[in-house]
Amino acid sequence: MKGIDIYSGQGNIDFNKVKNDGIEIVYIKATEGLTYTDDTFKNFYNDAKSVDLKVGFYHFLRNNNPVEEAKHFINVTNGLEVDCRYAIDVEVVLGQTSDKILNNVTQFANYLKSNGKDIVVYTYTSFLKEYLKSINNSFQLWIAEYGVKSPNINVPYIGFQYSDSGSVCGINGEVDLDEFSESILLRNAGSNLTLNNCNIQSIDGFVNEYNFHKVKSLQELINGLGLKDDSGNSLIVDGIFGELTEQASRKLPIAQVTGYHNDAYTDWIEIQFNQKPDHFFGKVMDNIIREFQRLKGLIVDGKVGIKTLKEILKQP
């Protein structure tokens, strides 16, 4: 999904032209620090919503009490109908250690979560690697890196800011350009598809034999890796293993001991078998997969192809 992120420095914006230029999502800067509120955010919000663009807000995190910053963000944006995850913009050091930065992000995020807000963390590839190394498996990520086709990271992400000097009709001057998967949308936004209005059987967390939670985590992984269905679309993260999810799943690499490396997918597989994720598909995982295949009546080769993957998704 094509998107932009904007702030007051963009000046007047014609959101109808923005939408007609193919933009679907608009992230708007709302707040910064303990007291700052962007003076155009409410007008941007109203104008973007008036032409049915999907809207999200972001907060620029500084070196203050993170809970108080989070309260400021919530107080300013409360009562406004948003479509996208609440974004935490983390990109400046301000004399802090890595541990302090990570602690601030975690406290800020947890406060939002405790108030029912789904979040995404925005940062640069370089900042992620230097200051937020251990955050990868904790939060959804929106990564900025320019001049590349995809971020140079080995963890899933749901947003990719690929330019800070883009051009979009309706905006004078340069603007940040983004590509989002549907995981950026809040759970009550986007698709109106529910289990109740589909021909689907759901029993104790399983949908048509597949574990809803395992499938959902796989869909998020697939979107984070940038894989698409056969029509070139990202997956809807709905926990349902249907035809489109299977199409995208077949594009995952075959996980095995030799000739394979994918940190994020390896970690996902390890977690399914209650192993500590370590980015390494070695002899231990090979033995685990072989025993699993034997128990399930599959070809015992230690390779996680589509048949083995589907059986994994059927486990409690």
Residues 248-273 have pLDDT tens digits of 999 999 999 998 888 899 999 999 99
Q: What is the pLDDT of residues 16-32, one digit of tens each?
A: 999 999 999 999 999 99
Active-site choice (21, 68, 91, 286): 91
Confidence check: pLDDT of 193 > 60: no
Confidence check: pLDDT of 190 > 70: no
Determine whether 39 is an active site residue. Answer: no
Residue 53: phi and psi, rounded to 5, are -80, 150
Residue 42 CA to residue 80 CA, distance in Å, equals 9
- In the prediction, which pLDDT does 136 show? 59
Confidence of residue 182 (pLDDT cuts 50, 70, 90): confident
- In the prediction, which pLDDT does 162 show? 95
- In the prediction, which pLDDT does 200 show? 38
Nearby residues of 94 by Cβ (< 8 Å), 6 or more positions away: 62, 63
Confidence check: pLDDT of 308 > 80: yes
Torsion sign (Cα): 168, 170, 175, 178: negative
Confidence check: pLDDT of 146 > 50: yes
Nearest-10 crossing angle of helices 263-272, 212-224? 170
Residues 125-133 have a mean pLDDT of 90
Confidence check: pLDDT of 196 > 80: no
- In the prediction, which pLDDT does 191 show? 38
Confidence check: pLDDT of 203 > 50: no
Confidence check: pLDDT of 105 > 80: yes
Determine whether 91 is an active site residue. Answer: yes
Residues 6-25 have a mean pLDDT of 95
Torsion sign (Cα): 120, 125, 128, 134: positive
Active-site choice (5, 118, 267, 270): 5
Residue 45 CA to residue 88 CA, distance in Å, equals 18
- In the prediction, which pLDDT does 309 show? 97
Higher pLDDT, 115 or 49: 49
- In the prediction, which pLDDT does 202 show? 44
Confidence check: pLDDT of 11 > 60: yes
Confidence check: pLDDT of 91 > 60: yes
Torsion sign (Cα): 198, 202, 205, 207: negative
Are the C-beta atoms of residues 13 and 29 closer than 8 Å to each other?
A: no
Average pLDDT for the chain: 89
- In the prediction, which pLDDT does 261 show? 85
- In the prediction, which pLDDT does 204 show? 54
Confidence of residue 137 (pLDDT cuts 50, 70, 90): low
Domains and CATH numbers, the chain: 2-184 (3.20.20.80), 195-312 (1.10.101.10)
Structure tokens at 306: 């589509």
Q: Which amino acid is at 104?
A: N
- In the prediction, which pLDDT does 14 show? 97
